[in-house]
Amino acid sequence: MAVPMLDLKKQHSLLREQIRAEIDKVLDSQMLVRPAAGKTSPQQAALEGSLREYCGAAEAICCSSGTDALLVALMAMGIGLGDEVICPSFTFFATAGAVARLGAKPVFVDIDERTFNISPKAIENAISDRTRAIIPVHLYGQMADMAAIMAIADKRRISVLEDAAQAIGAKQNDRPAGSFGKAGALSFYPTKNLNALGDAGAVVTTDAEFGQLVRLLCVHGDAGGYNHVRLGANFRMDEIQAAALNVKFPHLEEWHAARRAHAAIYDKELAGLDGVVTPLVAPGQQSIYNQYVIRAQRRTELIEHLRDRDIGSAVYYPKGLHEQPCFAYLGYRRGDLPVTELACREVLALPVCPEISDLQVMEVAQAVKGFYQPAKSASAQRYPRAR
C-alpha cells in the first residue's frame, strides 16, 4: 500500500467546488489585492477576522508569505545593522534569512534534545549588549517553552518574535502560538496545516499599535494618497489566496485532530522500538503535528526501506543553519551546536497528514518495525499487512 508524505490532491478534491466558487467571486469583483493603506478587501478582511479570534490576537495582517511575515515583523521592531537576534540553527532557512537581510546578525543557539525547540538556557547564555530580539521557532507543531523564554526576554527588555510557521493552533497551557511575544509569524505554504494555493502568510499580534505599523509596512509605508511615511515593501497577500484559506479555515481543527490521531497510532506502535525515539509532547503543550518526527538510527537505510515500499518520508532538516555556506562569515564550526548536529543526522518525518487513513499509518508503523525488528515483525504482527 502506497503512503504519500502529503496528499494535497485528495484534500483539494474534497473542497474543489467551494474553492472555485470563492475564486470566481474574486475574479468577478476584480478586487485582486488589498488596496493601499486604510482600505480593505473582503476575502482578506474575513481571513484576518478568523485569525484574530483563533490566535487570540488584537491584530492579524495577511502577508505574501511566511518569510515576509518574519521580515516585516522584524522591520516593525526596528531590527537593523549591528543588532543581534537569537534564533535556533535547527529550523527552516527563513528564520535567520530574514534577520540577515536587514543587516542584523543571527546568533545561533542549540535546541532541547527531546522537543527539538530552542533551549531557553542556550538563549540566556547567548545574550549580549547587542541582543535586540529572540525568535523562538515552534517546530513541527509544538511550541517552544514560551514561559521560560518570555521570563528571560522581559527581564532583559528584549523583543520576541514567535516563528509559528508550523504551529497555527498549537497551544501552551491553553494559550495559542503567536500570543506570547510581540508578534507571531504564520505560514500558509502548501505543506502547512492551513495551506494556501501557493505562498501566503500572516502576522498576528496582541499589540494593536504594532499591528497597524506592520500593516503600513506591508504597503510600502503608504499612509494614503502616496504619502510614504515609513520605508516598507510590498508584502501583500492576494485575494485568491485569502479566498482559498477562508474555505479551508473551518476544517482546521478537524485536520489537527486527524494528525493527533495518526500520531497516537505511531506513539503506540513504535513505543520501545530499539533504534527509534518517538516525539515528546512536553507537559502543558498541545501539538498540531505539522510533522511527526522520530529520531532514527541508520536513517538513510530506513528511508530506502520505506521508499522500496512506496512510503514517503522527509528530513527536516539535514543541516543546521550555522553550517550553511551563506552563514560561514559568522564563524561557526562543526561541534558548536552538538544537539542540533545530532538531530540533523537522526530526524525523520513520517506521513501524518489528515488525508491518509489509519490503515495507511499502520502500514508505515509496520514498515518501520519491520526494518528494526525484521524477524519479530514477520512472526508476531498484531495487525495484518494492508493490501
Greater pLDDT, 94 or 379 = 94
Give yes or no: residues 317 and 282 share one domain: yes
Contacts by 353-356 with C-beta closer than 8 Å and gap 24+? 353/4, 353/5, 353/6, 353/7, 353/11, 353/259, 354/11, 354/254, 354/255, 354/258, 354/259, 354/262, 355/7, 355/10, 355/11, 356/3, 356/4, 356/7, 356/262
Question: Which residue range forms the structural domain that includes residue 132?
Answer: 8-249
Give yes or no: residues 194 and 87 share one domain: yes
pLDDT tens digit string along 284-330?
Answer: 999 999 999 999 999 999 999 999 999 999 999 999 999 999 999 99
Task: Name residue, grid cell 499599535.
Answer: 209
Between CA 147 and CA 169 the distance in angstroms is: 17
Q: Taking phi first (over 0 means left), then psi (-120 to 50 degrees means alpha), and beta for anything else, what does residue 224 get?
A: left
Give yes or no: residues 149 and 298 share one domain: no
pLDDT tens digit string along 40-50?
Answer: 799 999 999 99
**Range scoring the smallest mean pLDDT among 6-10, 157-161, 264-268, 371-375:** 371-375
**Which is nearest to 147 in space by CA: 180, 101, 184?**
180
* Confidence at 387, pLDDT banded by 50, 70, 90: very low
The pLDDT > 90 percentage for the chain reads: 93
In a domain, 384, yes or no: no
Mean pLDDT of all residues in 165-182:
98
In a domain, 133, yes or no: yes
Angle between helices 358-372 and 299-308 (to 10 degrees): 130
In a domain, 386, yes or no: no
Q: Which 3 state secondary structure label does DSSP give 122? A: helix
| End position of a domain, from candidates 206, 225, 249 | 249
Alpha helices in 104-162, H assignment, sequence order: 120-126, 146-156
pLDDT tens digit string along 178-213?
Answer: 999 999 999 999 999 999 999 999 999 999 999 999
**Grid coordinates in use for 193?**
496545516
Give yes or no: residues 226 and 326 share one domain: no
Please name the amino acid found at residue 306.
L
Give yes or no: residues 243 and 255 share one domain: no
Give yes or no: residues 323 and 197 share one domain: no
Give yes or no: residues 210 and 292 share one domain: no
In a domain, 206, yes or no: yes
Between CA 44 and CA 69 the distance in angstroms is: 15
Neighbours of 325 (CB within 10 A): 7
Residue 7 has pLDDT above 60, yes or no: yes
In a domain, 362, yes or no: yes
Instruction: Write the burial class of residue 147 (CB in 10 Å: 0-12 exposed, 13-18 middle, 19+ buried).
Output: middle
**Beta pairing, strands 105-109 & 84-88:** parallel
Give yes or no: residues 175 and 150 share one domain: yes
Between CA 170 and CA 285 the distance in angstroms is: 8
* Confidence at 383, pLDDT banded by 50, 70, 90: very low
* Confidence at 35, pLDDT banded by 50, 70, 90: confident
In a domain, 338, yes or no: yes
In a domain, 125, yes or no: yes
| End position of a domain, from candidates 228, 249, 270 | 249
Between CA 384 and CA 219 the distance in angstroms is: 57
* Confidence at 384, pLDDT banded by 50, 70, 90: very low
> HSE on the CB side for 233, CA within 13 Å?
14
18's enclosing H/E stretch is helix 8-29
| End position of a domain, from candidates 198, 231, 249 | 249
Predicted local distance difference test score (pLDDT) of residue 1: 86
Give yes or no: residues 141 and 258 share one domain: no
The domain that contains 276 carries what CATH number?
A: 3.90.1150.10
Give yes or no: residues 263 and 240 share one domain: no
The domain that contains 81 carries what CATH number?
A: 3.40.640.10
302's enclosing H/E stretch is helix 299-308
**Range scoring the smallest mean pLDDT among 39-43, 64-68, 102-106, 379-383:** 379-383
Give yes or no: residues 244 and 344 share one domain: no
In a domain, 359, yes or no: yes
Give yes or no: residues 176 and 275 share one domain: no
Q: Which 3 state secondary structure label does DSSP give 303? A: helix
* Number of domains within the chain: 2
Distances (CA, A) of 228 to 74, 77, 216, 219, 231: 19, 18, 9, 9, 7
pLDDT tens digit string along 87-145?
Answer: 999 999 999 999 999 999 999 999 999 999 999 999 999 999 999 999 999 999 999 99
Between CA 154 and CA 191 the distance in angstroms is: 34
CA angle 156/153/174 to nearest 5° reads: 155
Q: Which 3 state secondary structure label does DSSP give 285? A: strand
